[in-house]
Structure 1
Amino acid sequence: METIIFSSRIAQDLTRFLDSKKYSKLGVIMDSNTVKHCYPLVSTHLPEHSSFIFEAGEVNKTLDTCVKIWDWMTENSFDRKTLILNIGGGVTGDMGGFCASTYKRGIRFINLPTTLLSQVDASVGGKLGIDFKGFKNHIGVFNQPEGVLIGEEFLGTLPEPELRSGYAEVIKHGLIRNVNYFNSLKTENWQAQSWKDIISVSVGIKRDVVDKDPKEDGLRKILNFGHTIGHAVESYYLDTPFHLLHGEAIAIGMIAEAYLSHKFLRLPKEELGIIQENLLAVFGKIQIDKKGFDTIIDLCFQDKKNEGNALNFSLLKRIGECDFNIVVGREAVAEALDYYNQLSN
Structure 2
Amino acid sequence: MKNVHIGSITEDHFNQLISTYDPSQIIAIVDENTAPYLDEIHLITDINIDAIQLPSGENHKNIQTVAAIWKDLTDNQFRRDGLIINLGGGVITDMGGFAAATYKRGVDFINIPTTLLAMVDAAIGGKTGVDFFDFKNQIGVIKEAEGVFCDVAFLGSLPKEELMSGFAEVLKHGLVADSKYFDYCTYTPFEELKWEKIVEGSVRIKGEIVAEDPFEKGRRKLLNFGHTIGHALESLRLEQGNPILHGFGVVAGMLVETKISFDKGLINDHYFNKIVNALDQLYDRITITSNDIPFMIERMKNDKKNHNDSINFTLLEGIGKGIFNQSASEEEIQRAIQWYSK
Normalising by structure 1, we get a TM-score of 0.95
Q: Deviations along 1:36-95, whole A, 9 cap, x unmatched?
A: 4x3343233241322101110011000110111001100110011110000001110110
Residue 41 of structure 2 aligns with which residue? 42
Residue 286 of structure 2 aligns with which residue? 286
Residue 29 of structure 1 aligns with which residue? 29
Q: Deviations along 1:244-294, whole A, 9 cap, x unmatched?
A: 100001000000000011122421122111111111111111221221100
2:288 counterpart SS class = coil
Instruction: Determine what percentage of the aligned residue pairs are the same residue.
Output: 39
Is 1:168 aligned to residue 168 of structure 2?
yes
- Equivalent position amino acid for 1:30 in 2: V
1:324 counterpart SS class = strand
C-alpha distance in 1 between matches for 2:181 and 2:10: 27
C-alpha distance in 2 between matches for 1:261 and 1:119: 28
| Pairing 1:90-105 to 2, within 5 Å after superposition | 90-105=90-105
Residue 154 of structure 1 aligns with which residue? 154
Mapped contact 1:15–1:45 kept (Cα < 8 A): yes
Aligned-pair Cα RMSD in Å:
1.6
Q: Which moves more between the two structures, 298-307 or 143-152?
A: 298-307
Q: Deviations along 1:188-233, whole A, 9 cap, x unmatched?
A: 7413211101110110000100011110001100000000001110
Residue 67 of structure 2 aligns with which residue? 67
1:285 counterpart SS class = coil
C-alpha distance in 2 between matches for 1:96 and 1:75: 17
Residue 177 of structure 1 aligns with which residue? 177
- Equivalent position amino acid for 1:315 in 2: L
Residue 122 of structure 1 aligns with which residue? 122
Q: Deviations along 1:158-183, whole A, 9 cap, x unmatched?
A: 11110110000000000000111111
Is 1:310 aligned to residue 292 of structure 2?
no
C-alpha distance in 2 between matches for 1:20 and 1:79: 15
Q: Deviations along 1:293-325, whole A, 9 cap, x unmatched?
A: 000111112222101321111100011101111
Normalising by structure 2, we get a TM-score of 0.95
Mapped contact 1:11–1:45 kept (Cα < 8 A): no
In structure 2, the CA distance between the partners of 1:188 and 1:178, relative to structure 1 (3 Å rule), is: closer
Residue 197 of structure 2 aligns with which residue? 197
C-alpha distance in 2 between matches for 1:265 and 1:116: 34
Q: Which runs of 5+ in 1 are unaligned?
A: none
Q: Which moves more between the two structures, 284-293 or 132-141?
A: 284-293
Mapped contact 2:21–2:83 kept (Cα < 8 A): no
C-alpha distance in 2 between matches for 1:197 and 1:26: 31
In structure 2, the CA distance between the partners of 1:83 and 1:250, relative to structure 1 (3 Å rule), is: same
C-alpha distance in 2 between matches for 1:94 and 1:258: 27
C-alpha distance in 2 between matches for 1:172 and 1:81: 37
C-alpha distance in 2 between matches for 1:20 and 1:107: 14
Residue 334 of structure 1 aligns with which residue? 334
Mapped contact 2:227–2:253 kept (Cα < 8 A): yes
C-alpha distance in 1 between matches for 2:304 and 2:205: 22
1:102 counterpart SS class = helix
Q: Which moves more between the two structures, 93-102 or 3-12?
A: 3-12
Residue 52 of structure 2 aligns with which residue? 52
In structure 2, the CA distance between the partners of 1:8 and 1:50, relative to structure 1 (3 Å rule), is: closer
Q: Which runs of 5+ in 2 are unaligned?
A: none
